[in-house]
Structure 1
Amino acid sequence: MAIGLVCSSFKSDDFKSEITATLRQQVLKEANWAMQQKPLTVTAFRAERSAGGLHDFYSEGDYWWPNPENPNGAYIQKDGLTNPQNFVAHRQAMIRFSQIIGALASAYQLTGNDNYVKQAVLHLNAWFINANTKMNPNLLYAQAIKGVATGRGIGIIDTIQLMEVVQGMLAMQKSKALPKQTINGAKNWFALYLEWLTTHQYGKDEMNAKNNHGTCWVMQVACFAKFTQNQQLIDFCKERYKTVILPQQMTSDGSLPLELKRTKPYGYSIFNLDALATICQLLSTPQDNLWHYQTADGLGIQKGIAFLYPFLADKDKWPYAKDVMHWESWPVAQPSILFGAMAYQQKDWLNTWKAAEHNPKNEEIIRNLPVRHPLIWLD
């Protein structure tokens, strides 16, 4: 039974069968692609403007542009408008890594074929173990801004891509083709990254962010803490979800006002709701089921999904401003309604998810979709 699904009358296998049937063809096709891919890490792309070294992840703030009045000076912000000239090669490499592991792990779940695991090991070793190619376990240089900052705490959101790497390893861990050296090396890497996330000022800044960034900090730390079996951080994330994230971000109707006031209110509302639902999927247990948790004034994930669902089913009903970019590309097969459908036995939600786009091509959508391979999240 999937974590968090504790209703005695709930037949999770029925839902899982439908989910598997929906995704099988796509999973096997993507895994066939992944079997042909060679490892490619941050060391393959030197970022000229990075203050870090070859092994340091680097990205640039999406909404920052050259100043027309001072082209060689510090960048200026245009909120919601992505600068296509910014450095994104490391982010793209990490997304590719996530797609490869997610696809291979999903195919392994479907078939039990160890060849998928053997291919995944090549990429896991390259990113986390091999001295020549591994990434340093920090994000000191993420979301940099030319002339303003060499890195920022909000850059931590870039590593939501590593969650499906972690979930993929968990899905493959029973295979004899996954060496202990690889899994232990990856656990060591994530333990170091968790230490940085929870002690460096950038990590503290991101944890304390009051919008989707704060949610995504909890989501990532929860995922990585489960992988490294860090119960102290697991408990911290549960408590923060209950006492900080929900009260600060959700209002009585289930909406997320900090996202609604952005220049992309639809996309950000979807993104944050997905992150909230993923936290519940990661951390719920029969003894502490976040799917059924409510604050004293009735705030909870069920209310959040119920608020947004009508606009996911029919975007034309959206009563707020349209997003300044990528309006036409949302929604896709959002994990919030998939996980919610399973938790609350909502067949309508499942049908909406089944009919949605499961293989988006828009880079903005891909990087803001924390769950792209649902099969590795269900057990």
Structure 2
Amino acid sequence: MISNTIKIGVVYLFVCITTTIKTTAQINKNIDKTLSVLDYNKLLYAKEHKNSMQFSAAYQNLISDADKALQEGPFSVMEKTQTPPSGSKHDYISIGPYWWPDPTKPDGLPWIRRDGEINPLTREGSTDYEIKNKMFHNTQTLAMAYFFSDNKQYATKAIELLKVWFLNEDTKMNPNLDFAQGIPGKNTGRGIGIIEFAGISNMITAIEILELNNKMDVKTSKELRLWFSEYLNWLQTSENGVFEKNTKNNHATHYDIQIVSILLFLNKENEAKEVLEAAKTLRIVTQIQPNGEQLHELARTKALSYSTMNLEGFTKLAFLGTKVHVDLWNYEAENGASIIKAYEFLKPYAEGKKEWNFKQIASVSKAQHKLKELFVKAGSQFNIEAYCKIGSKEDNKASSLLYYCN
């Protein structure tokens, strides 16, 4: 009895000491798994207080966006004007955004790379990139609007978008990215293009929200899971998928997010746990320096933007880890590398205490704004008040219903 009492006291002391970096979800073994990617309890809290000073503006913005989305779509890969090399418009196709026609060649082929400079030709309707972005954004917006308002018309529209993009025989996308981010004159698709589906986790959340109150029929739920299963298999076994898995920068991080999100969605928790455990040595150790620098991202022409994007990926992975008791947030490698160190490296830039002295050909102020938003996300998900303060508004009004600080 005395021994147990001492043990309890020691554990309590340890928890008290580490509360500034430990997430409540990591300490509490009864982790909420209602949603695969987000914190369901935080969503419920925001819903209950949606008309408060803290959330009313964000809620009204959501409803305004959802009302616009009601008038748009549905969207399909069949809308593009270009036919993929496979001969089927059901296959997704896009062009590498940083590639341009070679001005020294009569036909411009092969295209050449200008890192960080987006070629407008890669964003035209001849490919699927823009329409995919619209579909992902509108579906998430409508599903969230349904959750927060209980207005069934938002759910109905979101389900229509999902069916048209993923399921309907005449309009569905095949579950592969064989032709993503091809380079004219070089190849028809690359593993690097897989990052264009980083938003697939938002589709998972939309589906789960629509299933909560049985707004989505069982047949549709099963068919969507079949599509995601086939896409997961492609990610894990295709040449492009294996290539992306073995990259060394933000592409690898966001590849893992897709894999883990889908595995959790399909109730394959043990497999998800394996990927997350491997991320400690395959991702954190190889991408983050002991001082927190992310060298692969700092080498880019938009170093602040890419450092932020990759760290956001690590933060998502860390939160996904809380779903299966894998602690990536507090993990520190033998050489001292950790996600927290990466935050501490970027912290003075988010606070405006240091001037960014690495390359950033795009707006530094916009990149800094996104970095501040990331600190709010991390502060929200891992209960870190200091991080919350860095990006929160002075009036404490939440800019998001998904990530906010109390």
Report the TM range for the smaller structure's normalisation.
0.7 to 0.9
Q: Which amino acid aligns with 1:76?
A: I
Distance in structure 2 (CA, Å) of the matches to 1:23 and 1:133: 34
- What's the counterpart of residue 18 of structure 2? none
- What's the counterpart of residue 40 of structure 1? 75
Alpha carbons 2:285, 2:338 under 8 Å: kept: no
- What's the counterpart of residue 368 of structure 1? none
Bigger mean CA offset, 61-70 vs 194-203: 61-70
The 5-angstrom pairing of residues 129-140 of structure 1 reads 129-140=167-178
- What's the counterpart of residue 240 of structure 1? 278
Distance in structure 2 (CA, Å) of the matches to 1:47 and 1:376: 38
Residue 38 to residue 373, structure 1, CA distance change in 2 (3 Å): farther
- What's the counterpart of residue 308 of structure 1? 346
Residue 120 to residue 376, structure 1, CA distance change in 2 (3 Å): farther
1:71 aligns with 2:109: no
CA offset at residue 130 of structure 1? 0.1
- What's the counterpart of residue 93 of structure 2? 58
Among residues 344, 352, 366, which one is paired with 1:329 in the alignment?
A: 366
The 5-angstrom pairing of residues 7-18 of structure 1 reads 7=27
SS of the equivalent of 2:81 reads coil
1:85 aligns with 2:124: no
Distance in structure 2 (CA, Å) of the matches to 1:125 and 1:376: 28
Structure of greater Rg: 2
1:317 aligns with 2:354: yes
CA offset at residue 273 of structure 1? 0.5
Alpha carbons 2:24, 2:382 under 8 Å: kept: no
SS of the equivalent of 1:106 reads helix
Distance in structure 2 (CA, Å) of the matches to 1:19 and 1:221: 34
Distance in structure 2 (CA, Å) of the matches to 1:265 and 1:178: 42
CA offset at residue 50 of structure 1? 4.9
Bigger mean CA offset, 59-68 vs 42-51: 42-51
Residue 180 to residue 293, structure 1, CA distance change in 2 (3 Å): same
Among residues 250, 268, 280, which one is paired with 1:212 in the alignment?
A: 250
Alpha carbons 1:167, 1:377 under 8 Å: kept: no
CA offset at residue 217 of structure 1? 0.5
- What's the counterpart of residue 220 of structure 2? 182
Q: Which amino acid aligns with 2:355?
A: W
1:200 aligns with 2:269: no
1:5 aligns with 2:25: yes
Alpha carbons 1:51, 1:150 under 8 Å: kept: no
1:290 aligns with 2:328: yes
Alpha carbons 1:281, 1:339 under 8 Å: kept: no
CA offset at residue 51 of structure 1? 5.0
The 5-angstrom pairing of residues 119-130 of structure 1 reads 119-130=157-168
Distance in structure 2 (CA, Å) of the matches to 1:169 and 1:19: 27
After superposition, give the CA deviation of every residue in 1:124-153 in whole Å (9 maximum; x if it has no partner). 100111001100100000010011000011
Alpha carbons 1:333, 1:353 under 8 Å: kept: no
Among residues 236, 258, 279, which one is paired with 2:296 in the alignment?
A: 258
Gaps of 5+ in 2: 1-22, 29-40
SS of the equivalent of 2:74 reads coil
Q: Which amino acid aligns with 1:150?
A: T
Residue 100 to residue 256, structure 1, CA distance change in 2 (3 Å): same
Q: CA RMSD in A?
A: 2.8
Distance in structure 2 (CA, Å) of the matches to 1:147 and 1:19: 52
Gaps of 5+ in 1: 357-371
- What's the counterpart of residue 163 of structure 1? 201
Q: Which amino acid aligns with 2:358?
A: A
Question: What TM-score comes out, normalization by structure 2 length?
Answer: 0.80
After superposition, give the CA deviation of every residue in 1:257-311 in whole Å (9 maximum; x if it has no partner). 1100111111100110111101112231473332222223332222222222332
Bigger mean CA offset, 178-187 vs 250-259: 178-187
Among residues 301, 306, 311, which one is paired with 1:273 in the alignment?
A: 311
Distance in structure 1 (CA, Å) of the matches to 2:24 and 2:306: 25
Q: Which amino acid aligns with 1:164?
A: N
Residue 267 to residue 70, structure 1, CA distance change in 2 (3 Å): same
Distance in structure 2 (CA, Å) of the matches to 1:304 and 1:331: 15
Structure 1 stretches of 4+ with a deviation exceeding 6 A read: none
CA offset at residue 13 of structure 1? 5.8
Alpha carbons 1:34, 1:104 under 8 Å: kept: yes
Alpha carbons 1:52, 1:141 under 8 Å: kept: no
CA offset at residue 33 of structure 1? 1.4
Q: Which amino acid aligns with 2:132?
A: M
Residue 13 to residue 134, structure 1, CA distance change in 2 (3 Å): closer
- What's the counterpart of residue 402 of structure 2? 375
Distance in structure 1 (CA, Å) of the matches to 2:404 and 2:242: 27
Alpha carbons 2:42, 2:402 under 8 Å: kept: no
